[in-house]
């Protein structure tokens, strides 16, 4: 019975160790999330200025660098 308890304890310990190592080595990546990625201004008069704010967030686990933004 003592051998069984030691084997179970060792197995649980190894599983904990390996799962912790896998979690620690999780890839660090940014993640771009735009709540409303499209904006339709509709018909506008020539020369009128249209403003819209896009809310950008990064729920990832690394820095998100935005290097270029182009109107579509």
Alpha-carbon distances, residue 71 vs 37, 46, 52 (angstroms)? 12, 17, 12
Domain extent for 23: 2-57
- Residue 56's DSSP bridge partners are 34
* Burial (CB count <10 Å: 0-12, 13-18, 19+), residue 64: middle
* Residue 40, in any domain of the structure: yes
Over residues 43-66, the mean pLDDT reads 92
Q: What pTM was estimated for this model as a whole?
A: 0.49
Residue 22's pLDDT is 57
Separation of alpha carbons 42 and 23, rounded Å: 47
> Which has more pLDDT, 55 or 3?
55
* Residue 33, in any domain of the structure: yes
* Residue 23, in any domain of the structure: yes
Domain total for the chain? 1
Over residues 27-56, the mean pLDDT reads 90
* Residue 12, in any domain of the structure: yes
Q: Are 60 and 29 in contact (CB under 8 A)?
A: yes
* Residue 67, in any domain of the structure: no
* Residue 31, in any domain of the structure: yes
* Residue 64, in any domain of the structure: no
Q: Are 66 and 31 in contact (CB under 8 A)?
A: no
* pLDDT tens for each residue of 2-34: 776 777 677 877 677 667 655 555 678 999 999
């Amino acid at each position: 019975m003592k051998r069984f308890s030691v084997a179970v304890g060792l197995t649980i310990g190894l599983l904990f160790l390996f799962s912790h190592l896998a979690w620690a080595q999780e890839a660090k990546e940014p993640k771009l999330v735009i709540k409303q990625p499209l904006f339709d201004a509709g018909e506008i008069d020539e020369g009128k200025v249209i403003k819209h704010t896009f809310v950008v967030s990064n729920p990832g686990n690394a820095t998100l660098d935005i290097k270029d933004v182009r109107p579509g």
